[in-house]
Amino acid sequence: MAAAIAARQAGASVVVIERGVLGGTCVNVGCVPSKTLLAAAGARHGAATNPFTGVPTSAGKADLGALVAQKDELVAGMRQAKYADVAGAYGFEVLAGHARFPDPSTLEVDGHALRARACIVATGSEPDRPDLAGLAEVEYLTSTTAMELAEVPESLVIIGGGYVGMEQAQLFAHLGAHVTIVGRLAPQAEPELTEVLRGVFATDGVEVVEERASAVAGSAAQITVTTASGRRVNGHRLLVATGRRARTDGLGLAGAGVRTDERGSVVVDEGERTSNPRIYAAGDVSGAPQYVYVAAAGGRVAALNALAADPAAPAARVDYTGLPSVVFTRPQLASAGWSEAEALRRGRRCECRILRLDDVPRALVQRDTRGAVKVIADADTGRLLGVHALADGAGEMMLAATYAIKAGMTVDDLADTWAPYLTMAESLRIAAGLFRNQLPTSCCA
Ligand SMILES: Cc1cc2nc3c(=O)[nH]c(=O)nc-3n(C[C@H](O)[C@H](O)[C@H](O)COP(=O)(O)OP(=O)(O)OC[C@H]3O[C@@H](n4cnc5c(N)ncnc54)[C@H](O)[C@@H]3O)c2cc1C
């Protein structure tokens, strides 16, 4: 969609070829359905764990069938308004069919050749299937099928503790299932935040077995996952969330001279060009960070470069400065910019400060101080390199963090810039103040 819009704005005629459902992963089986279901599960969990003694609340049994139906209605509405109607407004056709390259200069849709100056491959990714003994013999869920269930399973074992595993774990735990995660929790997160997150999952009743799953066995009613150390974890259902790999089946990339890497992702340069000068690639299929806004930014860059007067010298590129990411757990786990490890890997001397949420007035008044904020600054210049937070609304905080990193702000700038009291985002100012001294913080001083 982003590539098509950019190409139309540049005056080109455009056809989008879609073999499945318009909208791709995000609106149909990714961001939108997961976030609306998580919001519903969070409302139930909020009622069950309400900390305000004077306002009694209770949480009844969840009707997952009703929630899934409501989610499907939202998805259908957004697919129409944000995709089909937008294609109409910009004036490009969406052609139903399977696209493939029979040779380096031809594109076919269900066997019919299409002529175009350039093609952009944006075929996304699909759940990875880990090489796990016994997996082929058992029935298991992916994030897609889990969000179609009509009933909350009594117990659920999830293999994988990345963002999909963590979100799905809380989704089902907050709807009343007993959930166990097998795998490393939040492998991409700052270790200090992962440590706090372990406590959150423990208080939520989500068991986390931080070991590699090595085998799976069971029947329709009971699944057993065996870990590398021989530990056995049982559950009624199994969900596999071990990552997503590029979706390139039946595209004919090899015959078209489009190189892929050892993980199967299409290899692109910073202008989203592949090894075939007429073919570009963007989004999950290109091995880019798997966020819909990265896919959109890549799609736009691919379109601009494909239509440039001199496509051999691409002008546009994706600028990853301050890139944010959010795991929509409760509290959210979010980041902007670099991790401490990444800053060191890039040869930067850095200094870090960690602010616990029991030092943040917003967390105190909400009576939920589970969480922390970590700020990473360049030790030589004081410039902000990364911000990481486990907090209610951490995703919202990251917009400010991204702006600050992109604008080249220092921790002094942050400490001396207005922050509204009592907001969670104020923790950015408070954490920046810790670079001056680490005495206890007053409310606004
Ligand atoms: C459970 C889950 C939750 C997520 N939550 C978030 C979130 O909160 N925020 C966020 O930023 N990201 C989130 N993501 C990631 C995000 O959805 C993806 O990064 C994004 O959708 C990738 O977009 P894309 O355009 O590269 O591919 P896709 O959206 O996957 O689109 C690819 C399309 O290509 C079609 N296709 C494939 N092959 C062919 C072919 N040969 N011919 C024709 N059509 C073809 C497919 O049918 C598909 O519709 C989530 C993902 C999942 C799975």
Q: Is 295 in the pocket of ligand 1 (CB under 6 A)?
A: yes
Q: Is the distance from CB of 128 to CB of 36 less than 8 angstroms?
A: no
Give the pLDDT confidence of 181-198 residue by residue, as tens digits: 999 999 999 999 999 999
Model confidence at 372: pLDDT above 70? yes
Q: Which atom from ligand 1 is nearest to the alpha carbon of 31?
A: 5
Please list the residue range(s) of the chain that carry CATH number 3.50.50.60: 2-127+245-306, 135-243
Q: How high is the pLDDT of residue 20? A: 96
In this structure, which residue's CA is closest to atom 8 in ligand 1?
A: 31
Kindly tell me if the per-residue pLDDT of 312 is higher than 80: no
Element (H, E) at 394: helix 394-406
What is the structure's pLDDT at 225?
Answer: 98
Mean pLDDT of all residues in 211-236: 94
CATH of 135-243, one of 3.40.47.10, 3.50.50.60, 3.30.360.10, 2.60.40.1190: 3.50.50.60
Ligand 1 atom closest to Cα of 293? Answer: 11
What's the pLDDT tens digit per position in 153-162? 999 999 999 9
The stretch 296-322 carries a mean pLDDT of 91
Average pLDDT of the chain?
A: 96
pLDDT for 315: 87
pLDDT tens readout for residues 324-356: 999 999 999 999 999 999 999 999 999 999 999
The pLDDT > 90 percentage for the chain reads 96
Ligand 1 atom with minimal separation from the 286 CA: 26
- Every domain of the chain with CATH number 3.30.390.30 lies at 324-433
For residues 411 and 375, the answer to whether their CB atoms sit within 8 Å is yes
Q: What is the CATH number of domain 2-127+245-306?
A: 3.50.50.60
Contact 82, 23 (CB under 8 A): yes
Res 314: pLDDT: 67
* Residue whose C-alpha is closest to residue 291's, from 262, 323, 269, 266: 323
Q: What mean pLDDT do residues 244-270 have? A: 97
Q: For a ligand 1 pocket test, name from 16, 22, 31 the mutation site with the most ligand atoms within 8 angstroms of its C-beta.
A: 31
Q: What is the pLDDT of residue 172?
A: 98
In DSSP terms, 376 is beta-bridged to: 352, 386
Which residue minimizes the CA distance to atom 47 of ligand 1? Answer: 20
- Residue 313 pLDDT > 90: no
CATH number of 324-433: 3.30.390.30
pLDDT tens digits, residue range 57-94?
A: 999 999 999 999 999 999 999 999 999 999 999 999 99
